[in-house]
Amino acid sequence: MKLQAHADAAESRKTQVNEKGIIKLVTNQPERYSLAREFYRDPEIYERDIARIFMNAWLYAGHQSEIPNVGDWFLFELADESVIIVRSSENEINALLNVCRHRGSRICVENKGCSKILICPYHAWSYDLQGQLRGAAHMDESFDKSSISLRKIHVELLEGMVFINFADKPSSFAPVRDGLAGCLSPYRLENARVAHRQAYLIESNWKLAVENYCECYHCAPSHPEYSRGHSLAWPAKLTEELHEELLGRAASCGLGTDFVNRTYLEAPGFGADFAYERYALIRGHVTGSEDGKPLAPLLGGIRDYDGGATDLQVGPVTYALMYCDHVVIYRFIPLSIGMSECDITWLVNGDAEEGRDYDRDKLTWLWDVTTHADKVIIERNQQGVNSRFYQSGPLSTMEEYTWNFLSWYLDTMKKPDERPG
Ligand code: FES
Ligand SMILES: [Fe+2]
């Protein structure tokens, strides 16, 4: 008891010091500068990132078309957590923690599969698709199977996109659903399907990957393929002209104009439940392809190419690029303090057939080549930040959204801990 009390006191002192240290780092952070080195390297700060951000945010897990049949499942993995996303016998989607209720083994060990019953490979306890324990051999007579089930976390479907949340009482998903209804409805993504999905490992802290995604300052030097067709990499004057043209075309293409706006840069900014912006592609480009030409059948109720694309954000680490004929969903996840994963999903119309209606290599070319380039620059960024001589540097006016992310992050780090106890 005495030893335990001593350990507890030491632990609380450590937390106190660390808490003060973090607050000091946040307080000393200059406006519109990159973060101090500790934010990318300190294990305590990393644990705080996981606890405050990833255990509370709505996170994109996948698309419902990946698990069309009862018993289909795939894994969502983040830091030390693993979640089984499974279609239940009731045709609902459940998110079950992949932690056996016997002695804690992982139950599903492949990335995806199909099974009517989930069997732990260690001592063969078996669970149904609701997570309820069904079988456990050689247990005491008094053992009550009905009281044991895998822990479920919250799931929400947004037009077929599966979002999960680890929190006991997550923030309501209704504002996301309501706020994005106009923006998403022309695409009818609940009828889309996954044409390709790929995970890219990036040897960096997750924040460097998000910071990079949030700005297009680097697009001209690093992404010639992207810059050819996307106006965000071009001077503002041209962007404005193209934007006017886009507004003139959108309605006749079935896209409406009410979601052509600049919500990204308006209050409440980063950390809000969602953000979106539709912007023009460069003339001669109708989608995100190598030659600017169509890649796949038009999505949902879209009748023609309006020459625009929508940038979308849901929660802090899920983004999408919505072209008229395909949608590219990005999700950034930390695997450890110095390793992150960029998971990309390419969605096409549910009826589209590979080979007949689209070519997978052509469909994925732009964002594959762009993500490989991003991986290189983000990893070099981390290498520089690792230097003892790294110092915070000033941001450009083209990095306004990155600063939105960083200031939201700093606020999240500094808030008093609301967890009970
Ligand atoms: S840990 Fe799963 S059955 Fe023993
Ligand atoms: Fe990039």
Those residues with Cβ within 8 angstroms of residue 361's Cβ, 6 or more apart along the chain or in another chain: none
Q: What is the pLDDT of residue 418?
A: 58
Q: What is the pLDDT of residue 271?
A: 61
| Ligand 1 contact via 122 beta carbon (within 6 Å) | yes
Q: What is the pLDDT of residue 269?
A: 53
Cβ atoms within 10 Å of 265's Cβ, excluding its own? 12
Crossing angle between the packed helical segments 360-385 and 206-213, to the nearest 10 degrees: 120
Which ligand is closest in space to the CA of residue 232?
Answer: 2
Residue closest via CA to ligand 1's atom 3 equals 123
What is the chain's pLDDT, residue by residue, as a tens digit (421 residues)? Answer: 445 544 444 444 444 447 889 999 999 999 999 999 999 999 999 999 999 999 999 999 999 999 999 999 999 999 999 999 999 999 999 999 999 999 999 999 999 999 999 999 999 999 999 999 999 999 999 999 999 999 999 999 999 999 999 999 999 999 899 888 888 999 999 999 999 999 999 999 999 999 999 999 999 899 999 989 987 767 777 778 888 888 888 889 998 766 544 444 444 456 667 888 888 899 999 999 999 999 999 999 999 999 999 999 999 999 999 999 999 999 999 999 999 999 999 999 999 999 999 999 999 999 999 999 999 999 999 999 999 999 999 999 999 889 989 999 999 998 877 554 3
Report residue 369: phi and psi, to 5°: -65, -35
pTM: predicted TM-score of the whole model, two decimal places? 0.92
| Residue 351 near residue 297 (C-beta atoms within 8 A) | yes
User: Relative to the CA of 136, which ligand 1 atom is closest?
Assistant: 3
Q: Would you state the structure tokens that stand for residue 306, as one six-digit string?
A: 């309006």
| Residue 177 near residue 160 (C-beta atoms within 8 A) | no
Would you give the DSSP letter of residue 109? -
| Ligand 1 contact via 126 beta carbon (within 6 Å) | no
Report residue 362: phi and psi, to 5°: -70, -40
Bridge partners (DSSP) listed for residue 350:
none
Altogether, the residues listed in the chain come to a count of 421
Would you give the DSSP letter of residue 399? G
| Ligand 1 contact via 120 beta carbon (within 6 Å) | yes
User: Relative to the CA of 120, which ligand 1 atom is closest?
Assistant: 2
